[in-house]
Amino acid sequence: MKANWTKRIIGAAALAALAGGLAWFAWPRPVLVDLATVAKGPIEVTADDDGKTHVRHVYTVSAPIAGKVLRISHPLGEQGPSLHVGDEVVANQTVIALMQPTLPGFIDVRSRDQLQAEVLAADAAIQQQEAEVKRIEAALDFSRTEFQRAQTLLRTQSTSAQAFDKAKFEVATSEANLASAKAQVEMRRAVRTSLAARLIDPASTNPSAEPTCCVRVLAPASGRVLKIAQDSEATVPPGAPLVDIGNPLDLEIVADLLSTDAVQIKVGALVRIDGWGGQPIKGKVVRVDPAGFLKVSALGIEEQRVRVTIDFADPPEAWGALGHDYRVVVHATTWSAPDALTVPVSALFRKGDQWAVFADENGRARAKPVQIGHRNNRFAEVMSGLTEGDQVVVHPSDRIADGSRIAQRGYHK
């Protein structure tokens, strides 16, 4: 009898333990969440985009004439200025480039035959004019003889004064004709030389001969070589860019911002510069262009952009490692407050047409509508709905609803 009661007691205890375990497993547990505290502190809203450093005054040295520019960057011992990127130049002293005349162009067969025929015609014209010179010289000798005879006869009054004046006139006329004929000979020889020069073949020129030298292109300003546009020897037209010169310490930053961001940026606004490989740098906006331009993004979207120019506020020691056309990331301040009530943006969600958060009230999640003002990618300014010190759920999941039990997630090492 006693053994039966013992079995019954043990069975009842087992059933009670089983029921308690099932109740414990079935009892709803609080959802583990991350909590953040609503607090007062500084907040700023920035327009963020990529920027590019730029030497404020870049001088592009161009070819002043058409010709052959010698190699600008070459090993020592060769002819040329031997400049490299980064070399220092002095205004009106450093030779940027040397230019020589170009070689004559090739002549096709028909043009060569025409020129050769014109040279032969020029030779014949020279011979014809030289014969004319000889004829006029003979006429001049005869005129001078007649003039001398008229002088003798005039002394003895055996001829008239009119005959004497006529003989004198014939001498003067013959002398003028002779001078004109000799000038014609020189002119035709010059024409012949010009035609012969057009027949010069570039393959017949002597490359070892000393070239006609040289147009020296000097640096227009002091600074350093930023870029060599025409490094190798080449024939260039007038105005062809050769070298870019500038002062690497005279840097500014140019950023093409969306026009919707640019309208909120004022001249003098503070800028934080990072993403360049060093510590963040301070800057300030010095110019917002009054005109925008269309730019197509990498996704093929047409965007209206506005160029914003930024100066460095920190000394050169902080950004001296930067150079021309380096990439940076700029954060231009459009609004800031030193002591605003803020809530993490990750705690906000839409409830109807309002913003809302889940606030922690004694272990229960309570949905609270909030009104927010300015915001950035981390925090939002709270206008109403929350007070300083409130705990809110960040990154709320779909397991949380109004009234759900919550508990702060712990971190175990």
Average pLDDT over residues 39-55: 93
The CATH homologous superfamily for domain 46-54+248-336 is Efflux pump adaptor protein, beta barrel domain (2.40.30.170)
Average pLDDT over residues 86-108: 86
Q: Considering only CA atoms, which of 69, 77, 76, 73 is closest in space to residue 98?
A: 69
Two tokens, residue 105: 């162009």
Evaluate if residue 261 carries a pLDDT over 70: yes
Give residue 285's Cα distance to chain centre.
20
Please state at what angle helix 109-155 crosses helix 161-198, rounded to 10 degrees.
160
Q: What is the dihedral of CA 155, 157, 160, 162, to 10 degrees?
A: 20
pLDDT digits over 287-299, tens only?
999 999 999 988 8
The residue type at 185: V
CATH architecture of the domain with range 64-102+214-246: Beta Barrel (2.40)
Q: Tokens 């001296």 sit at which residue?
A: 320
For a pLDDT cut of 90, what percent of the chain falls above it? Answer: 47
Count the alpha carbons within 13 Å of 165 in the hemisphere toward its beta carbon. Answer: 3
Q: What is the end-to-end Cα distance of the chain in Å, rounded? A: 56
| Residue 181 near residue 137, CB atoms below 8 Å | no
Q: Rounded mean pLDDT of the chain? A: 86
**Strand 406-408, strand 31-37: pairing:** parallel
Evaluate if residue 1 carries a pLDDT over 70: no
H/E element, 286: strand 281-296
Domains 64-102+214-246 and 109-199 share a fold: no
pLDDT digits over 199-242, tens only?
877 665 555 555 556 788 999 999 999 999 988 888 899 999 99
- Using a 10 angstrom Cβ sphere, with 0-12 exposed, 13-18 middle and 19 or more buried, the burial of residue 107 is middle
> In 3-state terms, what secondary structure has residue 341?
strand
Average pLDDT over residues 345-374: 92
Report CA-CA distances (Å) from 256 to 16, 147, 270, 277, 294: 74, 93, 17, 21, 10
**Sheet order of strands, 234-236 included:** 215-218, 95-100, 67-69, 234-236
| Residue 59 near residue 229, CB atoms below 8 Å | no
Q: How far is Cα 165 from Cα 89, in angstroms, rounded to an integer?
A: 75
The distance between the two most distant Cα atoms of the chain, rounded to a whole number of Å, is 200
Residue 86's pLDDT is 87
User: Tell me: domain 27-43+339-408, CATH 2.40.420.20, correct?
Assistant: yes
User: Count of residues for the chain?
Assistant: 413
Domain range list for the chain? 27-43+339-408, 46-54+248-336, 64-102+214-246, 109-199
What's 285's DSSP letter? E
Q: Cis before residue 213, ω within 30 degrees of 0?
A: no
CATH number of the structural domain 109-199: 1.10.287
Instruction: Name the residue with higher pLDDT: 77 or 349.
Output: 349
Residues 6+ apart with CB under 8 A from 323: 53, 248
